[in-house]
Chain A
Amino acid sequence: MTLLDNNILSLVIWLPILGAIVVLATGGDKNAPLAKKLALGFSLAEFVVSIPLFTRFDRTTSSMQFVEQSEWVPGFGIEYFLGVDGISMPFILLTTILTVVVVIAGWEVIQRRVAHYMAAFLFIEGLMIGVFSALDAVLFYVFWEAMLIPMFLIIGIWGGDNRIYATIKFFLYTLLGSLLMLVAFVYLYFKTGSFNILEFHAIPLSLSVQTLLFFAFFAAFAVKVPMFPVHTWLPDAHTEAPTGGSVILAAIMLKMGAYGFLRFNLPILPDASREMAGFMITLSLIAVVYIALVALVQKDMKRLIAYSSISHMGFVTLGFFIFNANGIEGGIIQMISHGFISGALFLCVGVLYDRMHSRNIDDYGGVVNTMPIFASFMMLFAMANVGLPGTSGFVGEFLVIMGSFQVNGWYAALAATTLIFGAAYTLWMYKRVIFGKVVADGVAALKDIGSREILFLSILAIAVLGLGLWPNPLLEVMHVSVDHLLDQTAISKF
């Protein structure tokens, strides 16, 4: 048991990757049932294995926990160094929960190259957890870039008609950004003599260097979040991705950019972060308002939810750069919550798409008449997206608005417009798709969701309501780490 106890992070990273290899070994589609069962087994086992990260997490310390540290490339000071704090740990759980959901969601929908599909998601799961737990910059970079490959394949193979344009755009956009991040890592390596991220946190840097590094990191993370104006890859990628791909993309991969700001920009470059706060807040507020208006006029449901994601992520970056606990904790909660909600909404669109083969809002209308159970679930998730109190969507928005009001009432006022715009685009879509008379034969022939679909939507519904009604357990995990981060940002480095 002690071996497992001491290597729990390694286990949660490599178990799904091992699972992916096993699933791949089942071969062609004639073994698809076996591949699916194996994938489900591994994803469930992975979830179970990740639970101790939460239950055994020490809420009283800000230092890294479940640490594993050993040499990897000693000549360059590169280590296999893993650990989590209250900021990164929740994302690992988010990942393990959503992978289970995605596997169940792909159960009947994916007919072609099933083993490959399942394996890709298990691969990506391990790599994403690697990103959240790596404390060595090279290790982080490897996971960060490797993660793109399965996602590239997921969109490229199982995607829609315009998938090639979308994948290339997605790949180039994110790769270009991360190359600058690599340059920043190399610079910091020359300064500290190691790739240890915690040492990066401690190194003194002049303001001009900090500013340059800030933009290097910004290039990588802003694209990933995505922040305005480097957001245009996301709607394309989402629209073309298969449902599972959209879920993972929106629910977890977007969070890595925001996570990067917390792990790199704020603690390594505190002075530059404060200098650039106005810039970051401006971009964030543009995202909240501008993108919400753009979302309003979308005709494609997935595109609408993609824009909604960008708008919601604006809250996250706003929360981070107002430098108070309400803002940062609100931002993190918003990230977790958005993971569940956007995942759920993409799954809802997927449920419709599987039946009607259309994402176009105008092709729908009156779905509630034929799919009442589905309509109830989608109502819940739509309301969560609107930020209704009692759902997880409210918690983050609430805390970020509370936090930004402390800094400047106008920030809060602009951010709070999401109450109106978010409701407008979400519920207007819901109205046109779900309510009304049955408009088309396709809608009249719809069958309500079955037990498999009810299962995965229920998992998400429980998460959304649980987190909304009682977010405190999750907040308590973060407090000490966030306070520590705020201390780091408060102390000048030069």
Chain B
Amino acid sequence: MQNLVLATPLVCLLAALVAGFFGRAIGRVNTHRVAIAGVAVSFLLSLLVYIDVMGGSSFNGTVYTWATSGGASFQVGFLIDELSATMMAVVTFVSLMVHIYTIGYMAEDSGYQRFFSYISLFTFAMLMLVMSNNFVQLFFGWEAVGVISYLLIGFWYKRESAIFANLKAFLVNRVGDFGFLLGIAGVLHLFGTLDYAPVFASAPDKAGLLISGWHQWEWLTVICLLLFVGAMGKSAQVPLHVWLPDSMEGPTPISALIHAATMVTAGIFMVARMSPLFEFSETALTVVLVIGAITAFAMGLVGIVQNDIKRVVAYSTLSQLGYMTVALGASAYASGIFHLGTHAFFKALLFLGAGSVIIAMHHEQDMRKMGGLRRYMPITYITMVLGSLALAGIPPFAGFFSKDAIIAAVHNSTLAGSGFAYVAVSLAVFITAIYSFRLLFMTFHGETRMDDSVRSHLKESPWVVTLPLVILAVMSVISGALFMGPMLFGNYFGDAILVLPQHDVLAKLYQDLHHATGIDLRWGMFTHAIQTPTFWLAVAGVITAWYLYLYRPELPEKIKSRFEWAYTILDNKYGFDQFNQRVFAGGARNLGGWLWRVSDMRVIDGFVINGTAQTIGWLSGVVRNIQSGFVYHYAFAMIIGLVVLMTLFVF
């Protein structure tokens, strides 16, 4: 298994290197052949690994020793269990779809080879992240995907907005990494190692251990909170979410791959991986729960007022990441990962669908200039309908199972804040349905609002674009029903995820479903859902969207002017950007400028250094007067000196 495991990321790396260094030499077609072959092989290997792992085998081994210092040894190594194998399969599958799609989307771009090189490299880094068996390599993958995201957001480096967005994304992520790295330092300090297995094994012994000098604070709580700061950066949780909407400046394929399906879920994956630590800190879990709930609700709301098709999907991603975080906070890690998987399919689908629309619209992204596209782009339309149904959580599509499980899990949770979280995620269902169908109706239904010149060129995208859409649509339909039973209620994750009995909300859900219907969990889920508000909220959301954007399309404007203040808050995205821009970015620049001009230049250089030089110059001017050149002056000075010395000796 070791060779299999090692080869999975390395083929992607190899493809990336070939595409990067020889892309120009071998030409566009060969470049995409190499890159796609690389990720396809990687996907097949991941499937083999997946089948192997589901058959009961696992792998935990070192590839090489990266560093040793002070008794600790830091390895590069892989831990392949149910969690990482699932992630590998999802990552390589979506990556493969995006690779194929890119042929169509980037066909006319001069950076074609560079783009393939980046996305293959991304796949490598993401695999290193999920396959790691220790915190150092996790951090390596974590930062590596961040850099590639940075490069890809700024892919069109001539655009001022793109290179602003990529710097912002990197810096905000670095704020998260700041916490993450300190969390890792805490782990090393507390456990003496950074390998998962020994850390997780001794976590129960460390539970409740207080930090000396810090009253009431437990080591594990502090460590988990610090690690979660990292997750907040990468998985864009409030208030570190600000980079994700701006990341839409990157080409659409990477919005789908990196900023929806894989990289942004790294934080979710990480917390699930760290469940043996988080389980022992209810404080940390509560924070996770509340932050996730705020994100799910507040960011979904912003999605309703966006007019850029990609930004709607981006805010939707933020909101859905909030759901996953809520699941983690409620100790329903399995359902968080389950939603991660289904979301990867339907959100990648929605992004790629949006991209297909953007191609047809000649890179116009404003939905107000679209409309009626379903007549021109039937495949894109149908697949996006399926994706939206999945996103809105309508049964029996994938999102229904994964999202309803989260809501039910929160309902069962007894943590402080779970009541708030339950209300927030339930209301977010309504919001989700509104913005998803608003997007659908504004883009594909109603009158065509684009220029005639654009309209005359409207056509369905080529097969390299629509094929991934169709495949992803199939997954968006079936993956929920297919995996729900085993993933949520079977022993799917084995020992990869730890849930303490008192936190096991999914087990409680299982009892509820089982009691209700006997055997079939899917049917149980459905009957359970129609008895709760969430299902009806989703249906209401769809109907509301239909009413507002198809039936009475003049209404939204009226509502907007009636509730101007609310609209302004949402349109400003609650003012996070302005605040950061003014307080953090501006503050750092002002402080730096002040330190430089006042402290460095005026005090140290001006006063101390040049001041010393001036003082010496002045002193030597004074002393020079003594050097008169007259012998009797010197003789006099000598006598004075002798007298003084003699006085000292005598007394």
B600 within 8 A of A: yes
A279 within 8 A of B: no
B561 within 8 A of A: no
A476 within 8 A of B: yes
Report B-chain residues with C-beta under 8 Å of the C-beta of A325.
69-71
The answer to whether B178 touches A420 (Cβ under 8 A) is yes
B139 within 8 A of A: yes
Name the distance in Å between B158's Cβ and chain A's nearest Cβ.
5
B174 within 8 A of A: yes
Report B-chain residues with C-beta under 8 Å of the C-beta of A437.
158, 160
- How far, in angstroms, from A148 to B588 measured CA to CA in the complex? 36
A417 within 8 A of B: yes
A240 within 8 A of B: no
The answer to whether A368 touches B595 (Cβ under 8 A) is no
Of A409, A417, A421, A434, chain B has the most CB atoms within 10 Å of the CB of A409
- How far, in angstroms, from A297 to B143 measured CA to CA in the complex? 25
Name the distance in Å between A456's Cβ and chain B's nearest Cβ.
19
Report A-chain residues with C-beta under 8 Å of the C-beta of B355.
none
B90 within 8 A of A: no
Report B-chain residues with C-beta under 8 Å of the C-beta of A469.
66
Residue of A nearest to B143 (CB): A389
- How far, in angstroms, from A435 to B153 measured CA to CA in the complex? 12
Dominant SS among interface residues on chain A: helix
The answer to whether A296 touches B592 (Cβ under 8 A) is yes
B593 within 8 A of A: yes
The answer to whether A419 touches B589 (Cβ under 8 A) is no
A34 within 8 A of B: no
Task: Choose one: A296, A329, A330, A435; the contact of B154 (CB below 8 Å).
Answer: A435
Bitwise interface map of A from 290 to 312 toward B, beta carbon under 8 Å scored 1, else 0: 10011111100000000000000
Name the distance in Å between A480's Cβ and chain B's nearest Cβ.
12
Stretch in A82-90, A120-128, A354-362, A400-408 touching the partner: A400-408
A390 within 8 A of B: yes
Task: Choose one: A296, A405, A471; the contact of B186 (CB below 8 Å).
Answer: A405
B463 within 8 A of A: no
Of B593, B600, B604, chain A has the most CB atoms within 10 Å of the CB of B600
Report A-chain residues with C-beta under 8 Å of the C-beta of B151.
379
A431 within 8 A of B: yes
- How far, in angstroms, from A4 to B64 measured CA to CA in the complex? 36
Residue of B nearest to A418 (CB): B178
Report A-chain residues with C-beta under 8 Å of the C-beta of B604.
229, 232
A326 within 8 A of B: yes
Bitwise interface map of B from 61 to 105 toward A, beta carbon under 8 Å scored 1, else 0: 000111111111000000000000000000000000000000000
Which residues of A218-240 are within 8 A (CB) of B?
A: 229, 232
Report A-chain residues with C-beta under 8 Å of the C-beta of B593.
297
Considering only CB atoms and an 8 Å cut-off, how many residues of chain A contact the other chain?
57
Residue of A nearest to B20 (CB): A376
Task: Choose one: A419, A434, A435; the contact of B181 (CB below 8 Å).
Answer: A419
Answer whether A413 and B605 are a contact pair too, CB < 8 Å, given A297-B593, A330-B69, A420-B171.
no
A416 within 8 A of B: yes
A481 within 8 A of B: no
The answer to whether A329 touches B589 (Cβ under 8 A) is no
Task: Choose one: B67, B157, B178; the contact of A368 (CB below 8 Å).
Answer: B157
Report A-chain residues with C-beta under 8 Å of the C-beta of B65.
472
The answer to whether A409 touches B158 (Cβ under 8 A) is no
Name the distance in Å between B315's Cβ and chain A's nearest Cβ.
25
A198 within 8 A of B: no
Answer whether A424 and B588 are a contact pair too, CB < 8 Å, given A232-B600, A325-B71, A406-B189.
yes
Name the distance in Å between A318's Cβ and chain B's nearest Cβ.
13
Residue of A nearest to B142 (CB): A389
Q: Please report the number of residue pairs spanning A and B whose Cβ atoms sit closer than 8 angstroms.
A: 133
Report A-chain residues with C-beta under 8 Å of the C-beta of B184.
402
Bitwise interface map of B from 50 to 69 toward A, beta carbon under 8 Å scored 1, else 0: 00000000000000111111
Report A-chain residues with C-beta under 8 Å of the C-beta of B379.
none
The answer to whether A326 touches B175 (Cβ under 8 A) is no
Residue of A nearest to B597 (CB): A297
Answer whether A476 and B68 are a contact pair too, CB < 8 Å, given A409-B186, A423-B171, A435-B157.
yes
Which residues of A441-494 are within 8 A (CB) of B?
A: 469-472, 475-476, 479
A383 within 8 A of B: yes
A395 within 8 A of B: yes
The answer to whether B588 touches A293 (Cβ under 8 A) is yes
Which residues of A8-56 are within 8 A (CB) of B?
A: none
Report B-chain residues with C-beta under 8 Å of the C-beta of A277.
none
Name the distance in Å between A382's Cβ and chain B's nearest Cβ.
10
- B-side residues, CB < 8 A to A, are 64-72, 136, 139-140, 143-144, 147, 150-151, 154, 157-158, 160, 163, 167, 170-171, 174-175, 177-178, 181-182, 184-186, 188-189, 588-589, 591-593, 595-596, 599-600, 604-605, 608-609
With A290-B599, A329-B70, A389-B139 given, name 20 new contacts (CB 8 A): A229-B604, A229-B608, A232-B600, A294-B595, A295-B592, A326-B69, A329-B69, A330-B69, A369-B158, A383-B147, A390-B143, A390-B144, A401-B182, A402-B188, A412-B185, A416-B181, A419-B177, A419-B181, A423-B174, A470-B64
- A-side residues, CB < 8 A to B, are 169, 173, 229, 232, 290, 293-298, 324-326, 329-330, 366, 368-369, 379, 383, 388-390, 394-395, 398-399, 401-403, 405-406, 409, 412-413, 416-417, 419-421, 423-424, 427-428, 431, 434-437, 469-472, 475-476, 479
Nearest 4 A/B pairs, CB to CB: A325-B70, A405-B185, A293-B592, A389-B140
- Some 28 contacts from A to B, beta carbons below 8 A apart, are A229-B608, A232-B605, A232-B609, A294-B592, A294-B596, A297-B593, A326-B69, A326-B70, A326-B72, A329-B69, A329-B70, A379-B151, A390-B144, A401-B185, A405-B189, A416-B178, A416-B182, A419-B174, A420-B178, A423-B171, A424-B588, A427-B150, A436-B160, A437-B158, A437-B160, A469-B66, A472-B65, A475-B69
